[in-house]
């Protein structure tokens, strides 16, 4: 169903960049006054629900959808749907909303900020690429006070916009793209959807990977364990998932492979490796207990999956960029032990 027609914006006729109405006397305690916000060009094309979530951080998504349905949110004085795309110059009315009380958030310390700043391997006015250490989540939540993106925001308080372009598992190390402009975020995520971003991972897997197995094409379905933990399995009802493989080296009991995901499903490489009978070393979700013990006896202490290389079109000028990230100390130590 299409969104209802909207009246033409009056914001483009000399209105300032943003507006704040006088606070209403009947606004509930803890609520802000009605906001009148003019959409800047860099925000054009964004869904209204996402636009509101960025401005009303901490407000539950259900409440945001409710105030839109009730007509409390307006664009150019007209009622709209959550999936309406905002345009440059649109005037958005945002009603007073009570945010849930939260404890004071934990601020990332100077040391972790310095580590993340040092991990930046590419940066310009549009984006940056970080060589994320293993063990650090890309964002906070699920019991974590902060992740990579929160650390970067704390280290760069002057940055107006920093958003993840894509994600890596907490225990996976390697290259992650972060957009510094919404236009860059839209460009890179569209290229991800169109499969014009090429990601190459290196994984140490159990056993000898057959050279004849150059790809795994198996649908993946997310499900929840009884304890609430989320997992992924191969299932005919799952989403189509394809990973291409290339053997790089072999040792007694292990193989180093390059895995290039064509699709981008949760845990895709990990599950596709496991379903072939060659789980990734150190994988506490998809590797059997005996194999985990054998890996620990080799000195293994981490998931042996590393986002090694990225190839992408730059958001401006469409020049191609290729980046590589070396293995960390723990990854190198395992390979060295196997070589001995």
Residue range 313-336, pLDDT digits in tens: 999 877 999 999 999 999 999 999
> What's the token pair of residue 197?
């971003």
Domain endpoint, select from 43, 60, 94: 94
Same domain, 150 and 31: no
- The catalytically annotated residue of 26, 42, 124, 169 is 169
Q: Is residue 125 part of a domain?
A: yes
Q: How many domains does the chain have?
A: 2
Same domain, 195 and 317: yes
| pLDDT above 80 for 28 | no
Residue/partner pairs of 155-160 with CB below 8 Å, 24 or more apart: 155/108, 155/113, 155/114, 155/116, 155/117
Same domain, 177 and 243: yes
- The rounded percent of the chain whose pLDDT value lies above 70 is 87
Report the alpha-carbon distance of residue 319 to residue 312 in Å, rounded.
8
Same domain, 143 and 115: yes
Report the alpha-carbon distance of residue 108 to residue 111 in Å, rounded.
8
What confidence tier does 41 reach under pLDDT thresholds 50, 70, 90?
confident
Same domain, 120 and 73: no
CA of 102: how far to CAs of 57, 59, 98, 105, in Å?
A: 12, 11, 12, 8
Q: Is residue 2 part of a domain?
A: no
For residue 27, the domain's CATH number is: 3.10.290.10
Domain endpoint, select from 42, 68, 94: 94
Partnered with residue 37 across adjacent β-strands are 18, 92
Residue range 179-191, pLDDT digits in tens: 999 999 999 999 9
Q: Is residue 196 part of a domain?
A: yes
Q: Which helix (H) or strand (E) holds 54?
A: helix 48-55
Residue range 97-133, pLDDT digits in tens: 876 665 566 778 888 899 999 999 999 999 999 999 9
For residue 245, the domain's CATH number is: 3.30.2350.10
Domain endpoint, select from 63, 94, 125: 94
Q: Report the 10 Å Cβ neighbour count for 155.
A: 18
Q: Which residue, 40, 34, 8, 9, is CA-closest to 20?
A: 34
Active site includes 169? yes
Q: Is residue 294 part of a domain?
A: yes
Question: What's the average model confidence in pLDDT over 201-230?
Answer: 94
Same domain, 23 and 71: yes
Q: Which residue, 76, 108, 103, 106, is CA-closest to 89?
A: 76
Q: Is residue 10 part of a domain?
A: no
Partnered with residue 132 across adjacent β-strands are 174
Same domain, 267 and 328: yes
What is the chain's alpha carbon radius of gyration, rounded to the nearest angstrom?
23
Q: Is residue 201 part of a domain?
A: yes
Q: Is residue 61 part of a domain?
A: yes
Comparing 20-29, 31-40, 56-65, 144-153, the range with the smallest average pLDDT is 20-29
Domain that holds residue 178: 110-339
Same domain, 196 and 291: yes
Same domain, 215 and 86: no
Same domain, 85 and 120: no
Same domain, 166 and 31: no
Q: Is residue 104 part of a domain?
A: no
Same domain, 161 and 261: yes
Answering whether pTM is above 0.85, one says: no
SS3 at position 26: coil
What confidence tier does 238 reach under pLDDT thresholds 50, 70, 90?
very high
């Amino acid at each position: 169903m299409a969104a209802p027609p909207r009246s033409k914006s009056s914001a483009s006729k000399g209105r300032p960049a943003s507006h704040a109405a006088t606070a209403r006397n009947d606004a509930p305690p803890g609520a802000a006054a009605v906001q009148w916000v003019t959409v800047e060009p860099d925000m054009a094309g964004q869904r209204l629900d996402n636009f509101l979530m960025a401005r009303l951080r901490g407000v539950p998504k259900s409440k945001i959808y409710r105030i839109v349905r009730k007509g409390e949110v307006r664009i150019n004085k007209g009622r709209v749907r959550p999936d309406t795309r905002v345009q440059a110059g649109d005037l958005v009315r945002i009603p007073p909303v009570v945010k849930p009380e939260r404890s004071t958030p934990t601020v990332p310390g100077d040391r972790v900020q310095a580590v993340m700043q040092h991990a930046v391997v590419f940066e310009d006015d549009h984006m940056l690429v970080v060589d994320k250490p293993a063990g650090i989540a890309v964002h906070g939540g699920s019991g974590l006070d902060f992740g990579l993106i929160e650390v970067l925001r704390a280290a760069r308080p002057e940055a107006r916009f920093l958003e993840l372009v894509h994600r890596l598992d907490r225990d996976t190390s390697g290259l992650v793209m972060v957009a510094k402009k919404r236009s860059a975020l839209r460009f890179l995520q569209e290229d991800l959807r169109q499969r014009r971003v090429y990601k190459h991972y290196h994984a140490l897997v159990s056993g000898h990977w057959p050279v004849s197995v150059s790809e795994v094409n198996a649908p993946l379905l997310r499900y929840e364990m009884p304890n609430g933990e989320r997992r992924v399995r191969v299932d005919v009802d799952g989403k189509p998932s394809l990973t291409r493989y290339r053997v790089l080296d072999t040792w007694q009991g292990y193989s180093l492979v390059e895995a290039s995901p064509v699709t981008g499903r949760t845990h895709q490489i990990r599950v596709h490796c496991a379903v072939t009978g060659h789980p990734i070393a150190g994988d506490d979700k998809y590797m059997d207990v005996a194999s985990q013990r054998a890996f620990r006896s080799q000195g293994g202490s981490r998931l042996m999956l590393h986002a090694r290389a990225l190839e992408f079109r730059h958001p401006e000028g469409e020049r191609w960029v290729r980046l590589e990230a070396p293995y960390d100390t723990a990854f190198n130590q395992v390979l060295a032990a196997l070589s001995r």
